[in-house]
Protein backbone atom coordinates (compact mmCIF):
# COMPACT_ATOMS: atom_id res chain seq x y z
CA UNK A 1 0.00 0.00 0.00
CA UNK A 2 1.30 3.42 -0.93
CA UNK A 3 1.78 5.74 2.01
CA UNK A 4 2.64 8.98 0.22
CA UNK A 5 1.21 10.68 -2.85
CA UNK A 6 0.86 13.90 -4.80
CA UNK A 7 -1.27 15.17 -7.68
CA UNK A 8 -0.03 16.61 -10.95
CA UNK A 9 -2.45 19.29 -12.12
CA UNK A 10 -2.61 22.19 -14.55
CA UNK A 11 -4.75 25.00 -13.22
CA UNK A 12 -4.93 28.70 -14.02
CA UNK A 13 -5.79 31.14 -11.24
CA UNK A 14 -8.62 33.09 -12.88
CA UNK A 15 -8.39 35.87 -10.31
CA UNK A 16 -4.80 36.53 -11.42
CA UNK A 17 -6.00 36.48 -15.03
CA UNK A 18 -8.62 39.13 -14.20
CA UNK A 19 -5.98 41.24 -12.41
CA UNK A 20 -3.57 40.96 -15.35
CA UNK A 21 -6.41 41.76 -17.76
CA UNK A 22 -7.35 44.96 -15.92
CA UNK A 23 -3.70 46.08 -15.82
CA UNK A 24 -3.23 45.34 -19.53
CA UNK A 25 -6.50 47.05 -20.44
CA UNK A 26 -5.41 50.25 -18.66
CA UNK A 27 -2.06 50.21 -20.47
CA UNK A 28 -3.60 49.53 -23.88
CA UNK A 29 -6.09 52.38 -23.45
CA UNK A 30 -3.33 54.84 -22.53
CA UNK A 31 -0.57 53.77 -24.96
CA UNK A 32 -0.33 56.21 -27.84
CA UNK A 33 0.47 53.66 -30.56
CA UNK A 34 -2.46 51.43 -29.55
CA UNK A 35 -4.91 54.26 -28.89
CA UNK A 36 -4.66 55.50 -32.50
CA UNK A 37 -5.79 52.15 -33.94
CA UNK A 38 -8.43 51.62 -31.25
CA UNK A 39 -6.98 48.33 -30.01
CA UNK A 40 -8.99 46.71 -27.25
CA UNK A 41 -9.20 43.58 -25.14
CA UNK A 42 -12.30 42.20 -23.45
CA UNK A 43 -12.76 39.50 -20.83
CA UNK A 44 -15.68 37.23 -21.71
CA UNK A 45 -16.08 34.54 -19.05
CA UNK A 46 -12.89 32.49 -19.18
CA UNK A 47 -11.82 33.87 -22.57
CA UNK A 48 -10.03 37.03 -23.57
CA UNK A 49 -10.97 38.60 -26.90
CA UNK A 50 -8.57 41.09 -28.48
CA UNK A 51 -9.52 43.33 -31.39
CA UNK A 52 -7.53 45.82 -33.44
CA UNK A 53 -7.19 47.46 -36.84
CA UNK A 54 -4.55 45.00 -38.11
CA UNK A 55 -2.61 41.92 -37.05
CA UNK A 56 0.51 43.88 -36.07
CA UNK A 57 -1.24 46.07 -33.51
CA UNK A 58 -3.25 43.06 -32.36
CA UNK A 59 0.06 41.33 -31.63
CA UNK A 60 1.28 44.40 -29.72
CA UNK A 61 -1.86 44.45 -27.58
CA UNK A 62 -1.48 40.74 -26.87
CA UNK A 63 2.18 41.24 -25.96
CA UNK A 64 1.10 43.77 -23.33
CA UNK A 65 -1.40 41.23 -21.99
CA UNK A 66 1.18 38.43 -21.96
CA UNK A 67 3.69 40.55 -20.07
CA UNK A 68 1.07 41.31 -17.41
CA UNK A 69 0.12 37.62 -17.19
CA UNK A 70 3.76 36.64 -16.63
CA UNK A 71 4.15 39.28 -13.92
CA UNK A 72 1.03 37.91 -12.19
CA UNK A 73 2.37 34.34 -12.28
CA UNK A 74 0.17 32.90 -15.03
CA UNK A 75 2.17 30.54 -17.23
CA UNK A 76 1.95 31.30 -20.96
CA UNK A 77 1.75 27.59 -21.82
CA UNK A 78 -1.79 27.65 -20.50
CA UNK A 79 -2.92 30.07 -23.25
CA UNK A 80 -4.91 28.52 -26.10
CA UNK A 81 -5.21 31.19 -28.83
CA UNK A 82 -7.70 30.79 -31.65
CA UNK A 83 -6.67 31.84 -35.18
CA UNK A 84 -6.90 35.52 -36.07
CA UNK A 85 -10.23 36.16 -37.77
CA UNK A 86 -11.64 39.17 -39.61
CA UNK A 87 -14.10 41.34 -37.70
CA UNK A 88 -16.45 44.15 -38.70
CA UNK A 89 -15.18 47.28 -40.49
CA UNK A 90 -11.94 45.66 -41.71
CA UNK A 91 -10.64 44.91 -38.22
CA UNK A 92 -9.19 41.65 -36.86
CA UNK A 93 -10.10 39.69 -33.75
CA UNK A 94 -8.50 36.86 -31.78
CA UNK A 95 -9.83 35.03 -28.76
CA UNK A 96 -7.65 33.30 -26.20
CA UNK A 97 -8.87 30.57 -23.86
CA UNK A 98 -7.07 29.17 -20.82
CA UNK A 99 -6.25 25.46 -20.43
CA UNK A 100 -7.74 24.10 -17.21
CA UNK A 101 -6.67 20.56 -16.34
CA UNK A 102 -4.34 18.13 -18.05
CA UNK A 103 -5.61 16.78 -21.39
CA UNK A 104 -5.95 12.98 -21.59
CA UNK A 105 -3.15 12.61 -24.17
CA UNK A 106 -0.73 14.57 -22.01
CA UNK A 107 -1.75 12.59 -18.91
CA UNK A 108 -1.07 9.34 -20.77
CA UNK A 109 2.34 10.70 -21.80
CA UNK A 110 3.16 11.51 -18.16
CA UNK A 111 2.13 8.05 -16.95
CA UNK A 112 4.11 6.39 -19.76
CA UNK A 113 7.20 8.44 -18.87
CA UNK A 114 6.94 7.38 -15.23
CA UNK A 115 6.64 3.72 -16.25
CA UNK A 116 9.48 4.00 -18.78
CA UNK A 117 11.88 5.32 -16.13
CA UNK A 118 11.01 2.31 -13.94
CA UNK A 119 10.50 4.41 -10.85
CA UNK A 120 8.97 2.65 -7.88
CA UNK A 121 5.80 4.72 -7.98
CA UNK A 122 2.26 4.17 -9.18
CA UNK A 123 0.72 6.70 -11.55
CA UNK A 124 -2.99 6.88 -12.27
CA UNK A 125 -5.09 9.28 -14.31
CA UNK A 126 -7.92 10.81 -12.30
CA UNK A 127 -10.05 13.03 -14.51
CA UNK A 128 -7.96 16.06 -15.45
CA UNK A 129 -5.10 15.27 -13.05
CA UNK A 130 -2.56 12.51 -12.45
CA UNK A 131 -2.00 11.00 -9.00
CA UNK A 132 1.45 9.63 -8.20
CA UNK A 133 1.84 7.45 -5.12
CA UNK A 134 4.77 5.58 -3.57
CA UNK A 135 5.97 4.10 -0.30
CA UNK A 136 8.78 6.61 0.18
CA UNK A 137 8.92 10.38 -0.22
CA UNK A 138 12.32 10.04 -1.91
CA UNK A 139 10.70 8.17 -4.80
CA UNK A 140 8.10 10.92 -5.09
CA UNK A 141 10.85 13.54 -5.26
CA UNK A 142 12.52 11.55 -8.04
CA UNK A 143 9.19 11.42 -9.91
CA UNK A 144 8.72 15.18 -9.54
CA UNK A 145 12.21 15.80 -10.94
CA UNK A 146 11.51 13.47 -13.87
CA UNK A 147 8.21 15.21 -14.66
CA UNK A 148 9.75 18.68 -14.45
CA UNK A 149 12.37 17.64 -17.03
CA UNK A 150 9.65 16.71 -19.55
CA UNK A 151 8.55 19.07 -22.29
CA UNK A 152 4.76 19.11 -22.21
CA UNK A 153 2.26 21.54 -23.68
CA UNK A 154 0.72 22.55 -20.34
CA UNK A 155 2.30 23.94 -17.15
CA UNK A 156 2.49 21.29 -14.44
CA UNK A 157 1.82 21.99 -10.78
CA UNK A 158 2.38 19.48 -7.99
CA UNK A 159 -0.28 19.61 -5.24
CA UNK A 160 -1.59 17.57 -2.31
CA UNK A 161 1.88 16.32 -1.39
CA UNK A 162 1.43 13.99 1.58
Q: How many structural domains does the chain have?
A: 2
Q: Are residues 105 and 93 in the same domain?
A: no
Q: What count of other Cβ atoms lies within 10 Å of the Cβ of residue 81?
A: 12
State the Cα–Cα distance between residues 34 and 151, nearest whole angstrom. 35
Instruction: Tell me the per-residue pLDDT of 98-121, one tens digit each, with 9 for 90 and over.
Output: 988 888 888 898 888 888 888 888
Q: Residue 125 sits in which domain range?
A: 4-11+101-159
Is residue 73 within 8 Å of residue 23, measured between CB atoms?
Answer: no
Q: Distance (Å, rounded) from C-alpha 34 to C-alpha 44?
A: 21
Tell me: do 94 and 19 sit in the same domain: yes
Which residue among 98, 119, 145 closes a domain? 98
Query: Who's near 112: CB < 8 A, 6+ residues apart?
Result: none
Q: What percent of the chain has pLDDT over 90?
A: 35
Amino acid sequence: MADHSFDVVSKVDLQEVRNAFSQADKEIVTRYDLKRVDASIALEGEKIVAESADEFTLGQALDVLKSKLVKRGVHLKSLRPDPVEPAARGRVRQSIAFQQGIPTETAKKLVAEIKQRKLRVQASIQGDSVRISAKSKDELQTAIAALRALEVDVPLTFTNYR
